[in-house]
Amino acid sequence: MSPNRSERRDAAENRQRILDSALRLFEQHGVEQVSMNQIAIEAQIGPGTLYRRYRNKGELCLELMKENIILLFEQIEEYLNLNRAESASERLKGVLALFLRFREKKAQLLKGVEESASAGRTKSRTQSPIYHELHQLFVGLFDEMAASAAEPSRLNGVFAADILLTALSSDSYSFQRDVRGHTPETILEQLCLTFIPSP
């Protein structure tokens, strides 16, 4: 076997060990409580090896989430295709329901993904791939709602999408769940009442 092939195999094994260890620690203690050093120790690799592959926990969370994010957007696309005849407001409600279900299942990792950019200070969570994809989707639905309104609408789709995504962020969502005591169903209902105009 060539040295290169052996190195590639070692790198792949290290990557899998890192991901398995990170997921185990995140599930046991929560993303915030786990350090990169703990992950390196758990994976039985040196910190340098870990940092060469992942600069921070957010990148690890994103790697762990990739498949789930692809599945989420496939679900959303399928939903939108099946419900083309529905109004933009109904489709927005359906997309929100799918995303809230996803957020409930993947809360810890999603929070880690959102916070990954903030480690660089110059970046923000708006640069996360989830935020970008959802933002485009929401802008399209808000613009469609404005265009189909009975009276001229002054709704700015970009602004509305920004504010909706702020409400859907981990910090805001956790506050509504844990401090205000709202259920996911109530949060969905209130988001729809806030962001979707009455017919």
Residues 46 and 64 in one domain: no
| Same domain for 113 and 166 | yes
Q: Are 17 and 105 within one domain?
A: no
82 shares a domain with 39: no
For the chain, the three-class secondary structure string (H helix, E strand, C coil) is CCHHHHHHHHHHHHHHHHHHHHHHHHHHHCCCCCCHHHHHHHHCCCHHHHHHHCCCHHHHHHHHHHHHHHHHHHHHHHHHHHCCCCCHHHHHHHHHHHHHHHHHHCHHHHHHHHHHHHHHCCCCHHHCHHHHHHHHHHHHHHHHHHHHCCCCCCCCHHHHHHHHHHHHCHHHHHHHHHHCCCCHHHHHHHHHHHHCCCC
Confidence of residue 121 (pLDDT cuts 50, 70, 90): very low
Domain that holds residue 47: 1-54
Same domain, 73 and 13: no
- Count of domains in the chain? 2
Model pLDDT for residues 58-90, shown as the tens digit of each residue? 889 888 888 888 889 999 999 999 999 999 999
Query: What mean pLDDT is reported for the chain?
Result: 87
Q: Show which of 12, 34, 54 is a domain's final residue.
A: 54
Whether residue 49 sits in one domain with residue 65:
no
Q: Indicate which CATH number applies to the domain containing 74.
A: 1.10.357.10
Q: Are 122 and 183 members of one domain?
A: yes
The answer to whether residues 124 and 170 belong to one domain is: yes
Answer whether residue 118 shows pLDDT above 60.
no
Same domain, 164 and 70: yes
Q: Are residues 30 and 75 in the same domain?
A: no
